[in-house]
Amino acid sequence: MAFLTLNNIEKYFDTHRAIKGINLEIKKGEFIVFVGPSGCGKSTLLRLIAGLEPVNGGSLTLDGKDITNLPSSKRDLAMVFQSYALYPHMTVFENMSFALKLAGVDKAVIREKVNKAAAILNLTEYLERTPKVLSGGQRQRVAIGRAIVRAPKVFLFDEPLSNLDAALRGQTRIEIARLHRELGATTIYVTHDQVEAMTLADRVVVLRDGNIEQVGSPLELYDHPANQFVAQFIGTPSMNVLPISGLPRLPQAGPALPEGGFIGIRPEYVELGGASADGYPATVDVVEALGAETLIYSTMENGLQIIARRNERTALHPGERISLLLNQQHMHIFDPLGKKVHAAAR
């Protein structure tokens, strides 16, 4: 049963229709990630749920209660912002307890809640310090702790890791995943980072131009993208998408190939052979030796570029001639408008 329901949600900024009739059901305890390119509407949608922007159409229901027109303070939600939004003159304890203090909660209860949240987030020894002496990761944990002490029905995260360096992003991502398991709280998380989306989410919501393109588990989206946009947006490096017209020797057995359409194939399913092997002749452009995997970028004779991924290391060098074999079993086929007409086997 849905815990939070978005029913035909609309949002306009003047004449610009930013959110275009979105429908979504979120179950209690789910970790949902909104992902998409800049300007797709993911942060706007989160702000509509939070009550920071008015909804221009549709309705929001939380735990059976219509919250569409309720002020943010009455929605029983807690939001963690990208910028931390901490009070610099307050200690960590004061920052985490501020909302409870405003609500008139008993001091003993406040201390108990803050101490419990601090222990979960490894912040106990920093409770009497001010934010200016904390690292970026510690400040973000304080912001998360401030949300935890309120015990909301839904946690909302708006790109909380984007201000952190790569090492801290990885560490804090693990902490957020662990926190979700411990609390079992319903969570909506906005990010542009695919790694965050793929590793944190129970379900990913892919947005584009104010619409939902696809909803599913991370591996569902990776293995069975609904269209060319999702296919190329999910996965690093992105799926190779090539015009059928540029691949004259594609096997004709199997699904029909639409005129003007495209085939998609993940880099791990592009096989490499020597220059004399049967396949598409190509020239190696770049070899990215990443340790655990190797990415080989090459250009075919007709100018099409393609990426191959290998779990082993390679002796190939830029400029070498190779042959590319495309595994037909793992091809996705899209029509000229990018709609999927055939999904690859798993």
pLDDT at 346 over 70: no
* Residues forming beta bridges with residue 32, ordered by sequence position: 188, 203
Evaluate whether 116 touches 183 at the Cβ level (below 8 Å): no
Cβ neighbours around 83 below 10 Å, total: 13
User: What is the sign of the dihedral through the CA atoms of 173, 176, 180 and 181?
Assistant: positive
Q: Which residue in 236, 238, 240 sits closest to 282, CA to CA?
A: 240
Cβ neighbours around 301 below 10 Å, total: 9
Cβ neighbours around 159 below 10 Å, total: 20
For residue 240, count CB atoms less than 10 angstroms from its CB and return exposed for 0-12, middle for 13-18, buried for 19 or more.
buried
pLDDT at 106 over 60: yes
* pLDDT bucket at 48, cuts 50 / 70 / 90: very high
CA 208 – CA 89 distance, rounded (Å): 40
* pLDDT bucket at 228, cuts 50 / 70 / 90: very high
What is the model's pLDDT at position 151? 84
pLDDT at 168 over 80: no
Q: What percentage of the chain carries pLDDT values higher than 70?
A: 97
Higher pLDDT, 127 or 83: 127
Higher pLDDT, 208 or 175: 208
CA 48 – CA 282 distance, rounded (Å): 49
CA 138 – CA 146 distance, rounded (Å): 12
Nearest 5°: phi and psi at 42? -65, -45
* pLDDT bucket at 10, cuts 50 / 70 / 90: very high
Indicate yes or no: pTM above 0.85.
Answer: yes
Q: What is the mean pLDDT of the chain?
A: 90
pLDDT at 254 over 80: no
What is the model's pLDDT at position 49? 97
CA 313 – CA 311 distance, rounded (Å): 7
Walk me through the domains of the chain, giving residue ranges and CATH numbers: 2-228 (3.40.50.300), 237-342 (2.40.50.140)
- In tens, the pLDDT along 132-150 reads 999 888 888 898 888 888 8
What is the model's pLDDT at position 345? 65
- In tens, the pLDDT along 270-312 reads 999 887 677 899 999 999 999 889 999 999 999 999 999 999 9
Q: Which residue in 78, 16, 19 sits closest to 212, CA to CA?
A: 19
What is the model's pLDDT at position 269? 94
- In tens, the pLDDT along 307-337 reads 999 999 999 999 999 999 988 889 999 999 9
Check residue 85 and give left, alpha or beta (phi > 0: left; psi -120 to 50: alpha): left
pLDDT at 183 over 60: yes
The amino acid sitting at 240 is N
What is the model's pLDDT at position 188? 96
